[in-house]
Structure 1
Amino acid sequence: MAKKNSTATFEYVEPIGDRVLVRKDEPKRETRGGIALPDAAEIPTITGRIVTISAVVENDEELPLRQYDKILFHPKNMIPVDLEHDNQLFVIPVEDVVAVFRKKTPE
């Protein structure tokens, strides 16, 4: 009996429960004033863009989270997803999302 190749190529990640999949923003390398920071002095980046939301989040009218929203999140419970070479994808519990960035709508 021949063994099947166990290496699978995954195309996407679907979060389960109250979670979202986020592409974390790149760490800042410069201050607002334009001062370049050395590589050793990294400012933790806790913003990102939602790539995918779970069915639970999508169907919860109390949660204002949608795909492609830019969010501010607490990074403590983020789980890295090893799907891309730059490894910027993370699964984040909804309770760790602390803010959603919105554009002001014209009145």
Structure 2
Amino acid sequence: MHFRPLHDRVVVRRIEAEEKTSGGIIIPDTAKEKPQEGEVVAVGPGVRAEDGTVTALDVKAGDRILFGKWSGTEVRIDGEELLIMKESDILGVIEQAEALKQAA
């Protein structure tokens, strides 16, 4: 099955957090919070204004994003746990080039 979101909806796959702290302590499943970082899987065409024009979304498939703790609706599509949320629920896009510069 192929899923295509409508309007300003975005389909997101959660990126699992590290299971160990920087000090080497393993975090059990019961103490983990759901990650607030994900990868955009699909995006809708955009928001339609009153005059009929469509404004495209700022995110695209493949972007790595941060979103609010309670954002989106959890769904299962083809056996995979995904989130469907509005673009306004996305807090920001993680730029990979910036992350590489800071690590160096």
> What's the TM-score, normalizing by structure 2?
0.74
By how many angstroms is 1:27 displaced?
A: 3.9
Structure with the largest fraction of strand: 2
Would the aligned equivalents of 1:28 and 1:42 in 2 still touch at CA under 8 Å? no
Q: Structure 1 regions of 5+ residues with no counterpart?
A: 1-10
- The reply to whether residue 78 of structure 1 matches residue 72 of structure 2 is yes
Partners of 1:102 and 1:60 in 2: CA distance: 23
Which of 46-55 and 20-29 deviates more?
A: 20-29
Name which one, 1 or 2, has greater alpha-carbon Rg.
1
- Counterpart pick for 1:35 among 25, 32, 37: 25
Q: Structure 2 regions of 5+ residues with no counterpart?
A: 48-53, 99-104
Where in structure 1 do 4 or more consecutive aligned residues deviate above 2 Å?
A: none
User: Aligned pairs, how many?
Assistant: 92
Question: Which amino acid is the alignment partner of residue 49 of structure 1?
Answer: E
Structure with the largest fraction of helix: 2
Partners of 2:78 and 2:24 in 1: CA distance: 31
By how many angstroms is 1:67 displaced?
A: 1.0
By how many angstroms is 1:88 displaced?
A: 2.4
Partners of 1:88 and 1:39 in 2: CA distance: 17
- Counterpart pick for 2:83 among 81, 90, 100: 90
- Residue identity over aligned pairs, in percent, reads 28
By how many angstroms is 1:74 displaced?
A: 1.0
- Counterpart pick for 2:62 among 68, 82, 86: 68
- RMSD (CA atoms): 2.1
Partners of 1:72 and 1:23 in 2: CA distance: 11
By how many angstroms is 1:70 displaced?
A: 0.3
Question: Which amino acid is the alignment partner of residue 60 of structure 1?
Answer: T
Match of 1:99 in 2: 92
